Structure 1
Amino acid sequence: MTNADQRSLLRTAFSLHRLPISKVATFLSIAIGINACAVNQEQDSTAELQTEQSSTFNFESETHEHVSNEHLTKLLEAEFLLQREGPGAAYDKFATILRSEKSPAMAKRVTNIAIASQNPAYIEESTNLWISIDPKAEEPYPLQLQIYFASGRYKQASELISRALEHDVSLQFLPTFLDQHSREVDTLETVRLALDELPKGALKNIYLQLSNNRLDFFSGHYTAVEAAIIDNLFETAPKTECKSLYVILGYSQNQLGKTEAAIETLLKGLNDFPNSKHLLIPVIELLVADNQLTRASELYNNAKLSSFDQTQLGLTFAGKLLEHHHYDNALSVLNSLPEKQYGFQDQTKLLTADALNKLGKPIEALNTLKTVDGPLAWNATQQIIRLLYTLKRENEINALVFERLNEEKLQEETMSVAGLHEYNKRPDLSLEFINTVLEAHPNADAIRYKKAILLESLDQWEAAIAELKKLVDSSPDNPQYLNALGYTILVNSNDLELAQNYIEKAYAIDNDDPAIIDSLGWVLFLRDDLDQATFYLQKAWELLKDAEIGAHYGETLWRQGHQSLANDIWRKAYQITPEYPVLMETLNRLNPDLITELQN
Structure 2
Amino acid sequence: MRQTISRLTISSTIRLYSTTFLLVGSISSSAHILAAGLNTYTQNNVNNKAIELSMIAEFALAYREPELALKNYTTLATQSNSTMVKQRALNIAIELENIQSALNIVTNWVQQEPKDVPALFYLSHIALKAHEYELAAETLDKILNFDPNADLEKILAGISPETAEDRSYLINALRTSKEQNNPSILVLVAGLEAQNNQLKQALSTISSALKIRPRATSYILMKANLLNALGDTKETLKWYEKASKKNKDNVEIRLSEAKFLIKQNQSEAALQRLEKIIDKWPKNEEALFIAGLTSIDLKQYEKAEKYLVELRSSAQYQNEAYYYLAVNAERKEHYETAKAYYRLVDGSLYAVSRKNMIAIFNKQNQLHDALRFLTQERVNYPQYASFLYQIQANILIQMNNKRAAIRLLDEAIQNLPDDPELIYTEVLLLDAHIDKDKLNDRLTTLLEIEPNNPAYLNAYAYTLALQNRNLKDARKAVELALELAPDQASILDTLGFITYLQNDFEASTQALEKAYAQSNSVKIGVRYARSLYMLGDIEKFNQVLLQLKTSFPNDPQLDSLNSLLLNKQLKKS
Using the TM superposition, give the Cα deviation of residue 540 of structure 1 relative to its aligned residue in structure 2, in angstroms. Answer: 11
Is 1:500–2:470 an aligned residue pair?
A: yes
Q: 1:62 to 1:462 in 2, by over 3 A?
A: farther
1:356-371 equivalent positions in 2, closer than 5 A: 356-371=329-344
Q: Is 1:336 the equivalent of 2:310?
A: yes
Which aligned pairs between 1:558-597 and structure 2 lie closer than 5 A?
Answer: 570-579=512-521, 581-582=523-524, 584-588=526-530, 590=533, 591=538, 592-595=541-544
**Does 1:66 find its partner at 2:40?**
no
Q: Specify whether residues 473 and 224 from structure 1 end up closer, same or farther in structure 2 by C-alpha distance, changes over 3 A only.
A: closer
Are 2:492 and 1:547 aligned?
yes
Equivalent residue number for residue 312 of structure 1: 286
Query: What displacement does 1:366 show?
Result: 0.9
1:332: Cα distance to partner? 1.1
Structure 2: state its 5+ residue gaps. Answer: 11-28, 551-573
2:211 maps to 1:235: yes
Answer whether contact 1:226 1:249 (CA < 8 A) is retained: yes
What displacement does 1:401 show? Answer: 3.4
CA distance in 2, matches of 1:416, 1:60: 59
The offset of 1:485, in angstroms, is 5.7
Are the aligned partners of 1:127 and 1:140 in contact in 2 as well (CA < 8 Å)?
Answer: no
Are 2:430 and 1:463 aligned? no
Structure 2 counterpart of 1:300: 278
Q: Aligned letter for 1:579?
A: S
Aligned to 1:213: 190
After superposition, residues 17-28 of structure 1 pair within 5 angstroms as none
Q: Retained in 1: the 8 A contact 2:292–2:303?
A: yes
Letter in 2 for 1:65: A
> Does the CA contact (< 8 Å) of 1:554 and 1:566 recur in 2?
yes
| 1:523-557 deviation digits (Å, cap 9, x = unpaired) | xxxxxxxxxxxxxxxx9999999522552587489
Work out the CA distance in 2 between the residues paired with 1:216 and 1:422: 59
Secondary structure (helix, strand or coil) at the match of 2:333 reads coil
Whole-Å separation in 2 of the counterparts to 1:463 and 1:229: 70
Deviation of 1:341 after TM superposition, in Å, equals 2.1
| 2:230 is the alignment partner of 1:282 | no
Offset of residue 214 of structure 1 = 2.8
**Cα deviations across residues 310-343 of structure 1 (Å, max 9, x unaligned)?**
2233223323333444332221112234x75234
What is the CA–CA distance in structure 2 between the aligned matches of 1:489 and 1:440, rounded to whole Å?
28
Moved more, 158-167 or 419-428: 419-428
- Root-mean-square deviation (CA, aligned residues, Å) is 5.1
How far apart are 1:356 and its partner, in Å?
1.7
- TM-superposed CA distance for 1:216, in Å, is 5.2
**Alpha-carbon distance, 1:397 to partner:** 3.5
Shift of 1:369: 1.2
Answering whether residue 233 of structure 2 is matched by residue 257 of structure 1, we say: yes
Shift of 1:244: 0.9
Counterpart of 1:139 (choices 118, 128, 139) is 118
- Count of matched residue pairs: 497
The amino acid that maps onto 2:206 is I
Mapped partners of 1:595, 1:376: distance in 2: 44
CA gap of 1:189–1:580, structure 2 versus 1, over 3 A, is farther
> In 2 relative to 1, CA 286–162 (structure 1 residues): closer, same or farther, beyond 3 Å?
closer
Out of 247, 253, 257, which is 1:270 matched to? 247
1:448 aligns with 2:427: no
Q: Does the 8 Å CA contact 1:81/1:89 hold for their aligned counterparts? A: no
**1:146-157 alignment to 2 at 5 Å?**
156-157=131-132
Contact 1:385 1:397 in 2 (8 A): yes
Deviations 1:460-510 (A, max 9, x none): 642254233255489889868898567525424xxx5xx329x65x89xxx
Contact 2:323 2:342 in 1 (8 A): yes
**Aligned residue for 2:222?**
248
- Structure 1 residues 419 and 238, CA, compared in 2 at 3 Å: closer, same or farther? farther
2:342 is the counterpart of 1:400 = no
Tell whether the 8 Å contact from 1:418 to 1:434 is kept in structure 2 after alignment.
no
The Cα of 1:166 is off from its aligned counterpart by 6.5
Aligned residue number for residue 532 of structure 1 = none
Contact 2:371 2:392 in 1 (8 A): no
Gaps of 5+ in 1: 1-24, 34-57, 519-538
**Aligned amino acid, residue 500 of structure 1:** N
